[in-house]
Amino acid sequence: MGIVSAKDASLLESSSLIRLGELFCGAGGIGLGASLATILKVEHIWATDYDKDACATYKKNLNPREVICEDVRKLDFEKLLKKHGEIDCLTFGFPCNDFSVVGKQKGIDGVFGALYQYCVNALQIFKPNFFIAENVSGLKNANEGEAFRCILNSFIEAGYAIYPNLYRFEDYGIPQKRHRVIIVGIRNNINLRFGIPSTLPFVNSDNSVKTALSNIPRNAPNNELTVQSPIVIERLKYIKEGENAFTAMLPLALKLNVKGAKISQIYKRLKADEPAYTITGSGGGGTHVYHYRDNRALTNRERARLQTFPDRFIFEGSKESVRKQIGMAVPPLAIKIIFEALFNCILGREYETMEARL
């Protein structure tokens, strides 16, 4: 732990506006987090994603100048720069499919792994003063660590000092055990040093599931209940908090006909007094995250609460599309903390830091 301050705060002495561009924006978890960091005002210039529902959600809630619903491989960055001008900060939660610990960890060799190069291209063309990149914790181990080293070197070669860290969001007061690699980049010609924000201010935070899911209005958007089959309801009656379909004492008639590890999240109940396990965006029966008390899966609004989206944030699309958008998002309140640290750094203000976990 330590105190960090900017060596040169002249960068924004006369301005309090950060012009933001986003690649792989999804539903807007990162964009919303940037807006919530009110130390400096954020203007959403443009955002892009290939998912139509996610783009509609982003546009509805964050009102950027333009949302481009397009495959990143077809984007014309030069045209985008000419149309909207320079940006101060670029963010990108580049696809994690090939880096996830849940998958086969193909890393850069996978279909999605090489897409990070388009983020590097964007950095080279837009030359933002700062960037924030996000990916799953499995990124650091893909290809025996070679993928992570390659990606970091690409950002360095693009002209940035980089500050990677493995953030455990539950340590920052988020009601979910979600671990993500986040890389903050600052252009080499800017005399600033970023410090990883400390977890100490959040030690006494109440980030329990019970608190996060309390007082949801009945008419809250995206709060439709899942219709559970009688056998699922009966199975859940035997599953206690923290147990799943393989660790609970189920009658033979209710056991699953599949092989599963004891750490499986299939039909796993949340624990009321702890942060939730990781909310995901896809998966079949039994993977929808189950209430700590009620015999049912969570609603999308409840999932959104665990991801720290406010109830006023409305997701567009079908119920399954909304589930995917929520599960793939970055918790806005976690990103807010990182943006606040960056903004304090820019303004030369002191803030508590800690050693990086990478």
Contact of 5 with 352, CB cutoff 8 Å: no
Task: Choose between 147 and 47: higher pLDDT.
Answer: 47
Query: How far apart (Å, rounded) are the C-alpha atoms in residues 129 and 208?
Result: 37
Contact of 120 with 158, CB cutoff 8 Å: yes
Task: Choose between 4 and 51: higher pLDDT.
Answer: 51
At 201-244, the pLDDT tens digits run 999 999 999 999 999 998 999 999 999 999 999 999 999 999 99
* Structural domain contains residue 194: yes
* Structural domain contains residue 222: no
Return the amino acid letter for 276.
A
* Structural domain contains residue 15: yes
CA distances from 58 to 29, 104, 140, 152, 304 (A): 9, 30, 29, 28, 14
Q: How does the average pLDDT of the chain come out, rounded?
A: 89
Can you give the CATH number for the domain in which 52 is found? 3.40.50.150
How crowded is residue 13: how many other Cβ atoms within 10 Å of its Cβ?
9
* Structural domain contains residue 216: no
* Structural domain contains residue 162: yes
Query: How far apart (Å, rounded) are the C-alpha atoms in residues 303 and 213?
Result: 9
Q: 160 forms bridges with which residues in the sheet? A: 187
DSSP string, 216-229: --TT-TT-PPP---
3-state secondary structure of 231: helix
Query: How far apart (Å, rounded) are the C-alpha atoms in residues 281 and 306?
Result: 13
The boundaries of the domain holding residue 46 are: 2-202+330-354
Mean pLDDT of 243-261: 87
* Structural domain contains residue 165: yes
* Structural domain contains residue 208: no
pLDDT of residue 117: 86
Contact of 141 with 105, CB cutoff 8 Å: yes
- When divided into structural domains, the chain yields a total of 1
* Structural domain contains residue 299: no
Residue 10's Cβ-side half-sphere holds a number of Cα atoms within 13 Å equal to 4
**119 catalytic per annotation:** no
At 104-157, the pLDDT tens digits run 444 444 444 477 889 999 999 999 999 999 998 877 776 666 778 888 999 999
Specify the pairing of strand 2-4 against strand 351-354. antiparallel
**For residue 327, which phi and psi values (nearest 5 degrees)?**
-65, -30
pLDDT at position 96 over 90: no
- Using alpha carbons, select from 42, 9, 344 the residue that is nearest to residue 196: 344
Q: Which of 55, 96, 119, 345 is catalytic?
A: 96
